[in-house]
Structure 1
């Protein structure tokens, strides 16, 4: 690209975006970087370069790298909540697989990378506990023994998350059938918690 004097320039200036749009652009850029490299393996320069903004612009939106990471987690959790809702139904596995397929970096950030970050582990543990509680409320109607219902709730969540993570890692084969297969594994957990 040439400037007004006909001299080569390195790149077009980053267009001005409204504050909310710039913040979203930065978070959308940061999520896959954090999901792949983790907090320690990512610098603000990495994110600024990928987002096409200066470090100063980053600091206008986020006080620190930790603040940016926290915001990326919150954004991913918000997208998760939009995708699956508050109640556990027969469609929940399908919705979770659909969201993970559409936004694998956010899924990996929440359920893989953030759990490895000591400063953010409690946030992810709380998210998983809230999800397990939603599953438990659903199971309490069909599994009489509360201890086994709690066991089934936590294990079915773990099976679902790990099955989706593995499915993503191996290249997302047969997306239309993935939820059905993962659902079968979850049903096996639930059946094992039923009274004999």
Structure 2
């Protein structure tokens, strides 16, 4: 009879485990992403003090990565060394700092290095919402005509970049 008291606890534990598994195994959404093939949303946002800024309309001449990140985001910090590697390889990366102020974005970049050719602040998440971002970090490949060609939801690694984003970047 006392084991019946454990049933609700076991059911709750099972549901919590399934939820954790679903959240931790988030995968690429390219197959159903409605923004693939669409123009990147246009914006003109504030820039962290002392950093170069950008807007999509100001970028000409080649494909680039648009990385949505936040100083408050542990997965963003985890992916940051790889972004620094990509910058050293000459990959153009532009950063969209989500829910950050100039001070917090600069503190993050001063501490870890700046992989971005330009940074824009989206403190209210207006552009992030237009991009359909589900969580930071997320990275988009934008071609030379300003069209979104690929998207990765979650931290980038070498394997993910080479398999999922590099082909779109090189075709761009």
**Which structure is higher in RCO with an 8 Å CA cutoff and minimum separation 6?**
2
Larger Rg: 1
TM-score (norm 1): 0.22
Higher percent of residues as helix: 1
TM-score (norm 2): 0.24
